C-alpha cells in the first residue's frame, strides 16, 4: 500500500469511545448534543466532549465532531458558541454538510480542519475541488461511487485534499442518506439525525376501495422488506481502496453498541496492519471471520465494484452467530472479574475478543459469584462473576459464546 490509511471509528457515548480507542482506532467521530446526524445515541455534553478530546489525544487518537445536520434558522444562533467551544478544547476536525455551517466554522473555529460529510453527495472531482477551494481538508465520498470513480477523483484533485470512504456497516437505501420516508411516515427527519429507519419495515399493499384488506408484496418467494439494504463489508479489499486513493477508512455505527465498535475496530485494525506488513498476501481467514461475529445483515461490497449492493427482502432480522455474555472489568486476587451481559454456564467455551490481540478461546470451568460462592450459571443481568483461568484476559475484553440464532 502507498501509505497506511487512517482507521476511523464511530462513538455514540463514553463506553463506545473507550472501545474504539482500546481496540485500535486512529481517529473517532462523535457528536455533541446538537447538530449531529445521530440522535439515538446519548452523544456528548460539553464536559464529556472535553474529556473525550483529552482522553483521545493522550492516546494519540484524533477527534472529529459531526456538525452534519441541515440546521434551521432558529438553530444558527447556537452554532458559533458550539464551534468556538470545540476549537477551544482542541477537536481536530468538523464533519459538515451545510455550506452555511462550513462558513461559520471557518469564521469561529479557523484552526479546526473541515471534512465534508458523505451527506453532501460528492461523486465527482469538480465537486471535490470546489469544496477544497472553500477550505475543506477532506471529503467523505458518497457511498455510491465505485473504485474506478474514486481513482479518477484522486487523479484530478490536489494531493492535499484527503479522501475518506465507508468500509463497514449499514447502507442507506436512499442516495447519500438523503431520505424523506421517515419524515413522511413518522415526522422524524432523517436529515436532522432522527431517522426511524422505515426502510427496515415490512410493507403491504392496500386497494383504495378495500382499505381493510392487506396484500403481501411477495415475488418469487421473497418477502416484503423492499427497502432493507444489505450491510457493507470491505475488510478483504483494503488494498484496493488505498490504491484507488482513499486515506481514511470509516466504520459506520454511532448508534450501535460498544461491542460492535470494539469488534469492527479490531477486525479492521488487524486487517490494515496485516496488509501493511504483508503486501499482496491474502487476508487471514480469522480476521474475516471477526466481521461474521458481529450482528449484521447480509454483507455486500456496496457500489465499489460496480452495480448495486441490493436489498434483503426476505426479512428484517440480523444474522447473529455469537452472543456477548460478559465483559472483563479487571482482576482481583488471582481471579478475572467479569460483568455479566448474557446468561452463561460453567463448562461453556468462550471466544474472547481483546484489545491489541488476536481472539482466544477458553473454558469457563471455575466460576464464583460476587460473594465468592461457586456457581453453575450466571443468570442475573450485570452480576459480578469471578473466573479462575490461566488465559491472559485484560480489562475491556468481551466474552462471546457461539450460539445459533443468537
**Where does residue 88 rank: exposed (0-12), middle (13-18), buried (19+ CB within 10 A)?**
exposed
Query: How many residues are there in the chain?
Result: 406
| pLDDT tier at 178, thresholds 50, 70, 90 | low
Nearest CA to 138 out of 241, 245, 40 is that of 245
**Residue 395: partners with Cβ closer than 8 Å, 6 or more residues away:** 328, 329, 330, 331
Torsion sign over Cα 149, 155, 156, 157: positive
Segments of the chain assigned to CATH 2.40.30.10:
322-402
Segments of the chain assigned to CATH 3.20.20.70:
6-174+228-300
**pLDDT at 335 (0 to 100):** 94
Helix axes 14-22, 46-58, angle to 10 degrees: 10
Q: Are 30 and 51 in contact (CB under 8 A)?
A: no
Digit-coded pLDDT (tens) for 197-252: 666 666 666 666 766 766 555 544 555 555 667 889 999 999 999 999 999 999 99
Beta-carbon count within 10 A of 180 CB:
11
Digit-coded pLDDT (tens) for 142-174: 999 999 999 999 999 999 999 999 999 987 666
Determine which of 92-101, 300-309, 353-362 has the lowest per-residue pLDDT on average.
300-309
The residue among 208 and 68 whose pLDDT is bigger is 68
Percent of the chain's residues with pLDDT above 90:
70
Torsion sign over Cα 129, 130, 135, 141: negative
Beta-carbon count within 10 A of 320 CB:
14
Helices (H), 7-78: 14-22, 46-58
Q: Which three cell numbers stand for residue 181?
A: 420516508
pTM here is 0.87
Does domain 6-174+228-300 correspond to CATH entry 3.20.20.70? yes
Mean pLDDT of 246-270: 96
Write the class of the CATH domain 322-402: mainly beta
**Mean pLDDT computed over every residue of the chain:** 88
**pLDDT at 85 (0 to 100):** 96
Is 60 exceeded by the pLDDT of residue 351?
yes
Digit-coded pLDDT (tens) for 5-42: 999 999 999 999 999 999 999 999 999 987 755 555 57
Written as one string, the DSSP assignment of 213-254 is EEEE--STT--S-TT-BPEEE-TT-HHHHHHHT--EEEE--T
Cα(278)–Cα(289) distance, rounded to whole angstroms?
A: 19
Cα(355)–Cα(353) distance, rounded to whole angstroms?
A: 7
Beta-carbon count within 10 A of 188 CB:
16
**pLDDT at 307 (0 to 100):** 76
Amino acid at each position: 500500500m502507498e501509505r497506511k490509511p487512517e482507521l476511523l471509528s464511530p462513538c455514540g457515548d463514553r463506553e463506545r469511545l473507550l472501545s474504539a480507542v482500546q481496540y485500535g482506532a486512529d481517529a473517532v467521530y462523535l457528536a455533541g448534543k446538537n447538530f449531529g446526524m445521530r440522535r439515538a445515541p446519548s452523544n456528548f455534553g460539553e464536559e464529556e466532549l472535553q474529556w473525550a478530546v483529552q482522553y483521545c489525544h493522550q492516546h494519540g487518537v484524533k477527534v472529529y465532531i459531526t456538525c452534519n445536520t441541515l440546521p434551521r434558522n432558529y438553530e444558527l444562533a447556537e452554532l458559533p458558541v458550539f464551534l468556538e467551544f470545540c476549537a477551544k478544547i482542541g477537536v481536530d476536525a468538523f464533519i459538515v454538510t451545510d455550506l452555511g455551517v462550513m462558513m461559520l466554522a471557518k469564521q469561529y473555529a479557523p484552526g479546526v480542519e473541515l471534512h465534508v460529510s458523505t451527506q453532501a453527495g460528492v461523486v465527482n472531482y469538480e465537486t471535490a475541488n470546489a469544496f477544497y477551494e472553500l477550505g475543506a481538508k477532506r471529503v467523505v465520498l458518497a457511498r455510491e461511487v465505485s473504485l474506478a470513480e474514486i481513482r479518477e477523483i484522486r487523479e484530478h484533485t490536489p494531493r492535499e485534499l484527503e479522501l475518506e470512504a465507508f468500509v463497514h456497516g449499514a447502507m442507506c437505501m436512499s442516495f447519500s442518506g438523503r431520505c424523506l420516508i421517515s419524515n413522511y411516515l413518522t415526522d422524524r427527519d432523517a436529515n436532522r439525525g432522527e431517522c426511524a429507519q422505515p426502510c427496515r419495515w415490512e410493507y403491504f399493499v392496500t386497494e383504495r376501495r378495500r382499505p381493510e384488506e392487506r396484500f403481501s408484496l411477495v415475488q418469487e418467494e421473497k418477502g416484503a422488506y423492499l427497502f432493507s439494504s444489505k450491510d457493507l463489508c470491505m475488510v478483504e479489499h483494503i488494498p484496493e481502496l488505498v490504491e484507488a486513493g482513499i486515506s481514511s477508512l470509516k466504520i459506520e455505527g454511532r448508534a450501535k453498541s460498544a461491542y460492535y465498535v470494539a469488534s469492527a475496530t479490531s477486525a479492521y485494525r488487524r486487517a490494515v496492519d496485516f496488509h501493511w506488513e504483508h503486501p499482496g498476501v491474502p487476508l487471514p481467514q480469522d480476521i474475516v471471520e471477526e466481521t461474521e461475529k458481529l450482528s449484521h445483515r447480509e454483507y455486500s461490497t456496496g457500489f465499489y465494484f460496480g452495480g448495486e449492493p441490493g436489498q434483503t427482502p426476505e426479512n428484517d432480522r440480523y444474522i447473529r452467530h455469537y452472543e456477548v455474555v460478559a465483559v472483563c472489568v479487571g482482576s482481583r486476587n488471582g481471579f478475572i472479574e467479569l460483568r455479566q451481559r448474557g446468561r452463561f454456564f460453567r463448562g461453556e467455551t468462550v471466544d474472547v475478543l481483546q484489545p491489541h490481540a488476536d481472539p482466544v478461546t477458553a473454558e469457563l470451568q471455575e466460576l464464583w459469584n460476587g460473594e465468592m460462592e461457586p456457581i453453575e450459571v450466571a443468570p442475573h443481568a450485570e452480576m459480578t462473576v469471578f473466573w479462575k483461568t490461566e488465559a491472559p484476559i485484560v480489562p475491556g475484553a468481551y466474552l462471546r459464546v457461539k450460539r445459533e440464532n443468537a
